[in-house]
Structure 1
Amino acid sequence: MKVLFFAALRETMGQSEIEILLESPITVAALKSMIKLPNGETLNAASRTQTIMTAVDQEMVDDSAMVSVASEVAFFPPVTGG
């Protein structure tokens, strides 16, 4: 599965994407628990103190959504306009 990071989250991670190998579908929340930030905190823990939006295959989803082995998952902060 391809996992993409955008904006400040990309800067925090130090990379724009990673590949994660899954054997079976999992929830977005479970995926967030697998991803470690450079400070050792999981993405799931970080989402308790900051808003992290999620898209699976270019559709906005919540943490209960299922992701499959072939999914593309993107994490990013809320988008604002101006």
Structure 2
Amino acid sequence: MKIELRYFASVREAVGLAAEQAQVPEGVATVGDVRAWLRARGGAWAEALAEGRALRMACNHTMTDATTRLTEGCEVAFFPPVTGG
């Protein structure tokens, strides 16, 4: 399945990409699976998307959690929580 990935703020800075298209492997079916698959790239990916790290996720412009199922061509975004003042 082909999906669009977007990275924002400190996640973008850490991984050095704002966006990419990816062909996810068999078995990657949810937003959480995508996060784990990207973490497996190691290095900055593992750190920026670490399991215990506070991270927001969206699928097709809707805030979501790790259990949201992927669909062909969907957009998955990762970004840190935003605080205001």
TM category, shorter: 0.7 to 0.9
Q: In the alignment, what sits opposite 2:68?
A: 65
Once residues 42 and 34 of structure 1 are traced to their aligned partners in structure 2, the CA distance between those partners, rounded to angstroms, is: 13
- The count of corresponding residues between Structure 1 and Structure 2 is 80
TM-score (structure 2 length as normaliser): 0.79
- 1:29 Cα offset (Å): 1.2
Q: In the alignment, what sits opposite 1:6?
A: 8
**Structure 1 segments (4+ residues) deviating >2 Å:** 22-25, 36-44
Q: In the alignment, what sits opposite 1:47?
A: 51
- Note the aligned Cα RMSD (angstroms): 2.2
- 1:40 Cα offset (Å): 5.9
Unaligned 5+ runs, structure 2: none
Q: CA contact under 8 A between 2:55 and 2:78: conserved in structure 1? A: yes
TM-score (structure 1 length as normaliser): 0.82
Unaligned 5+ runs, structure 1: none
Query: Identity over aligned residues, as a percent?
Result: 28
Letter in 1 for 2:56: M
- 1:37 Cα offset (Å): 4.9
